[in-house]
Amino acid sequence: MSEDATATAELKLPKDLAAEKGLVNVQIDGHWIQVPRGTRMIEAAKIAEKEIPHYCYHPKLSSPGNCRMCLVQMGMPPRPAPGEAPTFGDDGYQEIGWMPRPVIACANTVAENMGIRTSGELVESCREGVMEFLLINHPLDCPICDQAGECKLQEFSVQHGRGQSRFQETKIKKPKNVDIGKNIRLDDERCIMCSRCIRFMEEVAEEPVLGFSQRGTHTSVTVHPGRRLDNNYALNTADICPVGALTSNDFRFQMRVWFLKETKSIDLNCGTGCNTTIWTRANEVFRVTPRQNNDVNSDWMPDSHRLAFHHLESDARLTAPLIQKEGTHSSSTWTEAISKAAEGLNMRQPKEVAIIASARMSNEELYLAKKLADALGTDLISTVARKGDSDSKLISADRNPNSTGAALIFGNEDPSEKLDAIREGVSSGRIKALIVLQEDLLEEAGFNQSDLAGLEHLVSSHILANPTAAASEVVLPGAGFAEKRATYVNVTGRLQRAYQATLAPGDAREDWETLAALLAAVEKTFEAPASVDGVIKALASEIPAFEGQSFGSIGDLGVQITETGVTIPLLEQEKARVESGLING
């Protein structure tokens, strides 16, 4: 013992070095790495950049270990006989004794001096066997299956499959094309019983309506009798389904995924600002899926928000600047529309002008709107508050995606506090010219028709035609959420960016361009920046919270620029599950 103690004193073993940091040493495919104690083997392999194929395992869900695809070979140092001291090799590690049978990597945690082999004869023959079993009853549906192209079964079958079936018996027939909910279609034949959807509905959506029925090869996923999969998070099951068993009704047979271009964006339907991927082909948005961001939306997204992109193709889209003449609107050019709008503003006194902006607008647009208010000399600039109920998961009570940004840019706690003053000014006739940006005054801001009729000069910018646009003298078409490159600050104070996925239809422009043009027409000294980056630069130099930020510095996952104290309930629930060891996180 004393000899050992001196050896330790002279030369620290790797296990001790790791233990000091709360880590353990694991050998993965011959390379030693250090990973946190308690990490699953599959996650350790991910750290070592070794892929272990898997179906049922999902880091945000519990691990039942039922697909058996993640089998790997494991080895531990041989247990010393009583009284025998462990022997360490020249490199400081004990010799690994490899186990003759494989273990599943998703449910086992790593230990000190453990060895993992993610390839090799044993592992590969295991995978081949598992693949063959999974494919026994799987139909040859790939040509009509929406999952084709992003199907794990296809991918692993190419990598680890046999290429030809040895199965000569009759395949089990199961129900296909089952209507189980308003957004989800079930195909039981394609299901490989990974149970991800069942676990998601139970653990995350907390509405356990899915489950397995029957036994053996007849096992199939079913919805509880008398219930339907109508949860607002149901479409996430289609995302996590590794095969085409659960598919989205909205995206069903719309387009093959390999044609779609992915653009990183964020969701603008509430203050949470879920990170999303927009899937487009030829300037058309086909679907929106959640993108992992453990500080915002984990891996999930509410259905109501992801299906809200359809307004981009609406027939009510404004595609050209409109000017009202004798009661009817006719399309015009941007130059004409901007000069008409500016002319009406320039001839008023500062106190006769007000701006109603929207907290749906990006930071850049809000900044330019504020600059426009300054140029006009008015301090009457406000957003429209939009409150709802939080679903205590991802949908925030604040339904504006950029209230925090508006507050920071306008420099007051509640950016919508002056709305009442403006409304009062309009109805009393004190305000003669009004600029309305992306808001419908009649439906959401409490104005009435006579208020708008009393205005001498109403300029508005919208994506879709609405009553406010109908009452406006000049209507400027705007760009939808997928059609502009912009930044937003969510309810927790996180600055996030959205890339442009498609082009705005017709003559419609990105709103910052409209505002910059209007600003240039009102204030002759203003020089419009060449791109939106110029606006961000000006914004970052002026507003302290944004200092040093640029489109590049934000990153795909956003940066925290202020603390609002607001938390996202779903993340809190997830944190609790991680702490209890239920999931890996």
Partner 1 sequence: MATIKVNRPKLSAGEKIYFGSIFKGMAITLRHAFKTLFGKSVGADELASSGMGITMQYPEQKWDEHLPEYYRGVPALVTDEQQRERCVSCQLCEFICPPKAIKITPSEIPSDDEWAKVEKRPKEFEIDMIRCIYCGMCEEVCPEQAIYLRPDYIVTGTKRSDMVNDKERLYEIGGTRVGLVNKWNDLK
- Given the complex with partner 1, which of 140 and 503 has the nearer CB atom? 140
- Cβ neighbour number for residue 240 with a 10 Å cutoff: 18
- Given the complex with partner 1, which of 2 and 164 has the nearer CB atom? 164
Please identify, among the stretches 97-105, 140-148, 351-359, 481-489, the one whose residues bind partner 1 according to the rule CB under 8 A. 140-148
What's the distance, Cα to Cα, between the start and end of the chain in Å?
A: 41
Residues in 359-388 that interact with partner 1 by CB under 8 A:
none
Give the shortest CB-406-to-partner 1 separation in angstroms. Answer: 41
User: Which of 98, 133, 167, 259 lies at the binding interface for partner 1 (CB under 8 A)?
Assistant: 259
Encoding tokens for residue 82?
A: 């009583």
User: Which of 148, 442, 557, 578 lies at the binding interface for partner 1 (CB under 8 A)?
Assistant: 148
Please identify, among the stretches 256-264, 267-275, 378-386, 553-561, the one whose residues bind partner 1 according to the rule CB under 8 A. 256-264
User: Which of 227, 253, 424, 585 lies at the binding interface for partner 1 (CB under 8 A)?
Assistant: 253
Instruction: Note whether 177 binds partner 1 by CB under 8 A.
Output: yes
Encoding tokens for residue 554?
A: 């934000």
Give the shortest CB-191-to-partner 1 separation in angstroms. Answer: 15
- Given the complex with partner 1, which of 167 and 259 has the nearer CB atom? 259
User: Which of 37, 46, 256, 351 lies at the binding interface for partner 1 (CB under 8 A)?
Assistant: 256
Segment 131-135 long-range contacts (CB within 8 Å, at least 24 positions apart): 131/69, 131/156, 131/157, 131/160, 131/161, 131/162, 132/161, 132/162, 132/165, 132/166, 132/167, 134/55, 134/67, 134/69, 134/192, 135/161, 135/165, 135/167
- Given the complex with partner 1, which of 256 and 264 has the nearer CB atom? 256
Please identify, among the stretches 169-177, 342-350, 443-451, 564-572, the one whose residues bind partner 1 according to the rule CB under 8 A. 169-177
Give the shortest CB-227-to-partner 1 separation in angstroms. Answer: 23
User: Which of 37, 46, 176, 577 lies at the binding interface for partner 1 (CB under 8 A)?
Assistant: 176
Cα–Cα distance measured from residue 106 to residue 66, given in angstroms and rounded to the nearest whole number: 10
Ordered DSSP codes for 286-327: EEEEE--BTTTTBT---HHHHGGGGGGG-TTB--S-EEEETT
- Given the complex with partner 1, which of 98 and 259 has the nearer CB atom? 259
User: Which of 218, 252, 311, 387 lies at the binding interface for partner 1 (CB under 8 A)?
Assistant: 252
Q: Where are the beta strands (DSSP E) in 62-119?
A: 71-76, 97-98, 103-104, 114-117
Instruction: Note whether 142 binds partner 1 by CB under 8 A.
Output: yes
Segment 94-97 long-range contacts (CB within 8 Å, at least 24 positions apart): 96/27
- Given the complex with partner 1, which of 112 and 187 has the nearer CB atom? 187
Cα–Cα distance measured from residue 182 to residue 257, given in angstroms and rounded to the nearest whole number: 22
Spell out the residues 6+ positions from residue 136 whose beta carbon is closer than 8 angstroms to its own.
Answer: 165, 167, 171, 217
**Which residues contribute to the site for partner 1 (CB under 8 A)?**
139-140, 142-144, 148, 173, 176-177, 252-256, 258-259
